[in-house]
Amino acid sequence: MASSFESPICGRWVAPERQGCEFGVQGGVEAGPYEPRSGEWAARIPRMTPSHQGVIANVPLENGHAFIGVAHRIPAIPPGAIPDNRGHIQIEQLSPTDGVLPGWPVEVRLYPDRRLGLALFGDREFVAMADYRIPVDEWFYVVVEVSNGTRARQRMWIYGPGGELEATVSAWLNTRGFERAGRRTAHKIGGNTSTLIPMYTYADDWYISSKNLGPIRIDQDGLPLDS
């Protein structure tokens, strides 16, 4: 799967194609001319919502393993926007499952100091933090390797605005899921934590692959521009 959001994103995530949408959404997300990294459109994600917010692709991962890359642009975070009881919002929530293996989501978290963390969905005990602070209102790129297992290695690479590797994070997590999320194959650029003050985050050049393709740019047909 690869997209630079040059088609509408809308409708329910379980069947977006029924409404002529490339992806489904939650919380008023839309594609448009929002200073894109590639092409003419990018995704704009409102972060203050009643519940979940993001753009969603329903993609089973072979053996519960894949590399998921996406560009983000995050303006200045308004003081008080991120809830104190969470201490972060999510910018990615990813499902390490093929639809048969139970898989617990892995998420990329954004903290008020503009560092990113890698953790299991809902885990308040452990997060692997990157030292790099993401730039203000400039495109940067994140690649996450998700793997299914009781003690499976998850990795995150963060690339700066010029495509340079700025940080690598690694964590051994129990992604062999349980309870309600078990076999969902949904991957979301966004999250489930609302900010307390209105703000937006932006996304572009999203791919899901069996290989680490790095911080690629993607054309309107879903093909890498860098190759």
Domain spans of the chain? Answer: 2-209
Q: What is the mean pLDDT of residues 62-85?
A: 97
CB atoms within 10 A of CB 15: 11
Assess if CATH 3.40.50.720 describes domain 2-209. no
Residues 177-205 pLDDT 10s: 765 556 789 999 999 999 999 999 999 99
pLDDT at residue number 206: 98
Structure tokens at 188: 């979301």
Q: Interior CA angle at 154 toward 150 and 158, to 5°?
A: 165
Q: Calculate the CA 216 to chain-centre distance.
A: 15
Q: pTM for this one?
A: 0.95
Facing residues of 72 across strands?
A: 140, 203
Q: Are 63 and 97 in contact (CB under 8 A)?
A: no
- Give the whole-angstrom CA distance, residue 59 versus residue 186: 6
- Give the whole-angstrom CA distance, residue 74 versus residue 141: 11
Nearest alpha carbon to residue 153 among 106, 191, 211, 206: 106
Residues 153-182 pLDDT 10s: 999 999 999 999 999 999 999 999 765 556
The residue count of the chain comes to 227
Backbone angles phi, psi at 19, to 5 degrees: -110, 15
Name the DSSP class of 77: P
